[in-house]
A and B are shown apart, each in its own frame.
Chain A
Amino acid sequence: MAERPEALARLADKLVLALCVILAVWMMSWDEPLRVARGSAWAHRLTSPMERATQVVGELRATHAENEGLRAEIAALRMDLDYLAAVRGRIEELESRAGFYERDHGRLVPATVLELIVSRVPVQAKIRSLTGDSLKAWMPVVNEHGLVGRIRQVLGPDEALVQLLTEEDSRISVEVARTGVTGLLRYDGRRFFIDHVPQGEPVAVGDPVMSSGLGGTVPRGLNIGTVKDVRADSSELFQVVEVASEVRFSAIRNVFVVIDDGPWYSSENDFAPLEPEDAAEAQGPTP
């Protein structure tokens, strides 16, 4: 019985050799195109993990290099940002010394127009804040085309009555952006004009007009429109400057209230909320 395993052991190497030889001869018996095709496929299968690993390593290196570049770029941008912050600080300091208002125009809060109060043309609008932020009197109201008006009276926690620029006594100080010439914006029922622009002041058709910030109720820089016409009569004291506003006051639906307290607010401009009966009266007729 002990001889059988020994005989098997003696045969084992011959069996392994026979197997290897059979396999090798079997492969050699294939046609050359088949040998090439199968050999290439096996080689590819063997080397594909290495190729993949090489590819991954290459991608990692590229990513690492890209990260290095991005880090350098971030560092450079941070330096630029620091520099710009310093410059901005200096500009604000200079503007403060020169009596200018801060450049911050506040935070915009969306509001929807509930009603338009019309007297030949829309002159007031009742709005509701969509974010629940509390509204205050004299907060500026804008839309995508520029300044629409100011909150005239607060009707509730998130509702207010807006005095549009088209109302007769809505006078705000504006500025011709190109030359800095200032005046008061007035609406005559059909068109906007800038009043009190002395003769000889440089104003040209097409000049952008923005809020000047003077008067303390509207921040500087809000878009009003562009100069449409200039008439300079030497016999008159002031020029007649007509302004075209892009705001369609009869079609405003969504507006933004500039809610952050800015230096343009002053306690003397604050209006107390209306009494309920006054509020009801203020809502008045709607179009």
Chain B
Amino acid sequence: MNGARLALFTIFTLIAQVALVPSIAIAGVRPDLTVLLVVIAGLRGGPIVGTLTGFAIGLLQDLLTPETLGMNALAKSIVGWQVGKISGQLALEGPPLYLGLVSAAVLAHDFIYLLALTRLDIVRFLLTFVTHAIPAAIYTGIVALLMAMLALVLGQGALARPQGGRNG
């Protein structure tokens, strides 16, 4: 995935997150496609690409709601870096990898993001984490699973992890 394609995917993902995702929300729970993109970037490009992609898309997301400026960038940078770091050590392949990895990434992302947003207000943090972050992680994992299966069926392999992985 070269830089131009990644930038294009970033913009499309952001537009989809803002314009399409609200229409597929279930009881207010929305999948986080931006984290999904960061995971894909980290898996395919390694920790540097994952970090930069996370920072860029996080910053763009923050610009939509300037009150949270820096929070999404921080959370997604760390998630992108971590996914990139572990991409070469994963035992799983294919759709199951995405279900677990994306769900874990969303949880990690929301953990950091909500800590910053609630300013370490533990009660508020826990309440929001349980009512929003966990359902969102499951929903995003399912969306990632479906997308991975679709990619497999179509034979594109766009979501496939490069052979041998990266150690960063």
Among candidates B65, B84, B168, residue contacting A10 with C-beta atoms closer than 8 Å: B168
Of the candidates B71, B77, B116, the one having the most CB atoms from chain A within 10 angstroms of its own CB is: B77
B51 touches A17 (CB 8 A): yes
| In the bound complex, CA of A140 to CA of B119 (Å) | 98
Report the interface size for chain A: residues with CB under 8 A from the other chain.
24
Question: Are the C-beta atoms of A13 and B66 separated by less than 8 Å?
Answer: no
Q: Which of A27, A42, A46 has the most CB of B within 10 A?
A: A27
Tell me which residues from 20 to 74 in chain B have a Cβ below 8 Å from any Cβ of chain A.
Answer: 46-48, 51-52, 54-55, 58-60, 62-67, 69-71, 73-74
Complex Cα–Cα for A37 and B66 (A) = 8
A24 pairs with B73, CB closer than 8 A: yes
Question: By DSSP majority rule, is chain A's interface helix, strand, loop, or mixed?
Answer: helix
- Which of B60, B70, B85, B116: most chain A CB closer than 10 A? B70
Chain A, range 25-47, C-beta contacts under 8 Å to B: 25-28, 30, 32, 35-40, 42-43, 46
Task: Tell yes or no: B106 within 8 A of A by CB.
Answer: no
Q: Are B48 and A16 in contact (CB under 8 A)?
A: yes
Q: How far is the CB of B42 from chain A (nearest CB, A)?
A: 10
The answer to whether the Cβ of B139 comes within 8 Å of any Cβ in the partner chain is: no
Determine whether A77 belongs to the interface, using a CB cutoff of 8 Å to chain B: no
Q: Name the residue on A nearest B117 (C-beta).
A: A28
> In the assembled complex, which residues on chain B have CB atoms less than 8 Å from the CB atom of A10?
168
CA distance A21 to B75 in the complex (A): 9
Binary interface profile of A, 208-250, with partner B (CB < 8 Å = 1, else 0)? Answer: 0000000000000000000000000000000000000000000
Within 8 Å CB of B63, what residues of A?
A: 39, 42-43, 46
Closest B residue, CB atoms, query A44: B63
Q: How far is the CA of A23 from the CA of B71 in the complex (A)?
A: 10
Greatest chain A CB density within 10 A among B47, B66, B84, B168 is at B66
Q: A20-B52, A20-B77, A46-B63 are known contacts. Are A13 and B69 too (CB-CB below 8 A)?
A: no
Chain B residues closer than 8 Å to A94, beta-carbon distance: none
Cβ of B69 and Cβ of A16 under 8 Å apart? Answer: no
Question: Which residues of A are interface residues toward B (Cβ below 8 A)?
Answer: 10, 12-13, 16-17, 20-21, 23-28, 30, 32, 35-40, 42-43, 46
Interface residues of B, Cβ cutoff 8 Å to A: 46-48, 51-52, 54-55, 58-60, 62-67, 69-71, 73-74, 77-78, 81, 84-85, 116, 168
Can you identify 15 A-B contacts, CB atoms within 8 angstroms?
Answer: A16-B48, A17-B78, A21-B74, A23-B73, A24-B59, A24-B70, A27-B62, A27-B69, A28-B69, A35-B69, A38-B66, A38-B69, A39-B66, A39-B69, A40-B66
Q: A13-B84, A17-B47, A43-B64 are in contact. List 17 more A-B contacts (CB 8 A).
A: A10-B168, A12-B48, A13-B51, A16-B47, A16-B52, A17-B77, A20-B54, A24-B71, A24-B73, A25-B74, A27-B70, A28-B116, A32-B67, A35-B69, A36-B67, A36-B69, A38-B69
